[in-house]
Amino acid sequence: MAIERHPVATMADGTELVVCVHEIPGASAAGPTVGLCGSIHGDEITSSQILMEVAAAVAGRVKKGKILLLPVADPLGFAVRERWTPHDSQNLNRVFPGNADGWLTEKLAAVITERFLNRIDVLIDLHSGGSAQTVDYVYILNDEALSRSFGSRILYKRREGLSGTYFSGTSAGVARDRGIRAVTIELGGGFVDQRPYVKRGVAGVLNMLRTLAVIDGPPLPPPAQIVVERIVMIRPNQGGWLISEAPELGAEVPGDAVLGRVVSPYTFEELEVIRNPVPKGIMILSHLTTDVVHPGAYGYMVGDLAPDPAAAE
C-alpha cells in the first residue's frame, strides 16, 4: 500500500495542507479503480474509522483493479470536528469540482477532483450523522445493485421532479454526471457508541467490494429493503434541550407523532413540540440522546412511505 500526499496550499502558520490518498493495487490491473472517501464533512468521523478498518481488512486481498482510499477529505474540518472548513466556512461537499483559484475549500475540492475523482471508476462515499445526530440509509444514484449490496434496510432514490438541486456541488453528483458509478452511504454519528456502526460499515463496504469482484468471495444478498423517494427534514424552531421521543432508526412513525420536545435549560418550560409532518414515515435521522440544539439545526429526517407525487421536497 502506497500513500500519496497531494499538496493543496501553504497555510498562514507555515504548515502544508495536503490530501492523503492510499493506493491499494490488485494482483491484476484488469479491473475497476474503486474510490473510497470519508470525512468529506469534518464532523462525520465514523466514516474515517470505517475506512481505517477497511484498509486493514483488504490488505493483500485485492485481486483485480485497485482501491484508492481517501480517509479524510477535509483535514481542516476534521481537526476541529466541524461540518464546514473552518478557514472560510465553506461546505466542501457543495463546491465540487472545485476551483484552483477560489476559496480554500474550493482549492481542496479541485485537488480531490484531480487526484482522486478523475482516477476512479466507482465512488463509495461514506458519511455519518455528525456530532449529535445519528443516521442510517444509502442513496441510490446510478447503480442500484451496488447501493443495495451495502446491506442497509433503507435506501433513498430521489423522485424525479422534486424541487431543489440536492446533488449540486457534491462529489457523488460530479461522479454521477461523469458516468462514474457512485454510492453515498449515511451511517452512524451522534453521542453514542460508534463501534456497532463501524462494524456494519466495514462489513457493508467489503460486501460492495465483493460485488465488484475486487476482492474474493461471493457477496451476501441484501436484507429486505425499503426504498423511499422523498425525505423530509424537520428542524427545530426553538433552541434548548432537544428531548427525543422518536422511535428507533428504521422504525415506522405515524403522521403527527411526537418526535421530540425542545425544553428551555433555564426555565425548564416546553418551548416546542416537534411532530412528524408526513402521514406515514420511517425514521432516517434522529437524536438518540438529549442534545443542545439551535433553531434551524438538524432535527429529524423522515422518509415518506406514502409520498404525494405533487409534493415538494
| Whether residues 70 and 180 fall in one domain | yes
| Whether residues 280 and 175 fall in one domain | no
Residue 165 backbone phi and psi in degrees, to 5: -125, 65
3-state secondary structure of 53: helix
Q: pLDDT tens-digit profile of 299-312? A: 999 999 986 555 44
How far apart CA 7 and CA 46 sit, in angstroms, is 25
pLDDT of residue 13: 95
Kindly report the CATH number assigned to the domain that includes residue 263: 2.40.50.100
| Whether residues 240 and 223 fall in one domain | no
How far apart CA 310 and CA 101 sit, in angstroms, is 41
Q: How far is CA 116 from the centre of its chain?
A: 17
Contact call for residues 43 and 83 (beta carbons, < 8 A): yes
Number of domains in the chain: 2
Q: Which of 187, 203, 227 is the last residue of a domain?
A: 227
| Whether residues 58 and 149 fall in one domain | yes
On whether residue 13 sits in a domain, the answer given is: yes
Which residues, including other chains, have CB under 8 Å from residue 193's CB and lie 6 or more apart?
none
**CA 44, 46, 52, 55 torsion-angle sign:** negative
On whether residue 182 sits in a domain, the answer given is: yes
Kindly report the CATH number assigned to the domain that includes residue 69: 3.40.630.10
| Whether residues 126 and 220 fall in one domain | yes
| Whether residues 190 and 259 fall in one domain | no
| Whether residues 247 and 106 fall in one domain | no
On whether residue 312 sits in a domain, the answer given is: no
pLDDT of residue 83: 94
Three cell numbers written together for 9:
496550499
What phi-psi label fits residue 199: left (phi over 0), alpha (psi between -120 and 50 degrees) or beta? alpha
> Is the preceding peptide bond at 254 cis, omega within 30 degrees of 0?
no
On whether residue 310 sits in a domain, the answer given is: no
pLDDT of 243 > 80? The answer is: yes
Q: pLDDT tens-digit profile of 86-121? A: 999 999 999 999 999 999 999 999 999 999 999 999
Strand partners, 67: 24, 34
Q: pLDDT tens-digit profile of 2-13? A: 999 999 999 999
Q: Which residues constitute the domain of residue 119?
A: 2-227
On whether residue 311 sits in a domain, the answer given is: no
Q: Which of 181, 208, 227 is the last residue of a domain?
A: 227
Strands 226-228 and 122-127: unpaired
| Whether residues 159 and 11 fall in one domain | yes
| Whether residues 157 and 26 fall in one domain | yes
On whether residue 313 sits in a domain, the answer given is: no
On whether residue 309 sits in a domain, the answer given is: no
pLDDT of residue 1: 77
How far apart CA 140 and CA 147 sit, in angstroms, is 6
How far apart CA 64 and CA 216 sit, in angstroms, is 10
Q: Which of 227, 260, 283 is the last residue of a domain?
A: 227
| Whether residues 188 and 277 fall in one domain | no
Residue 28 backbone phi and psi in degrees, to 5: -125, 140
Q: pLDDT tens-digit profile of 20-61? A: 999 999 999 899 999 999 999 999 999 999 999 999 999 999
Query: In this structure, how many other beta carbons lie within 10 angstroms of the beta carbon of residue 310?
Result: 6
3-state secondary structure of 58: helix
| Whether residues 243 and 268 fall in one domain | yes
Contact call for residues 171 and 184 (beta carbons, < 8 A): no
On whether residue 190 sits in a domain, the answer given is: yes
| Whether residues 149 and 200 fall in one domain | yes
Q: pLDDT tens-digit profile of 66-82? A: 999 999 999 999 999 99
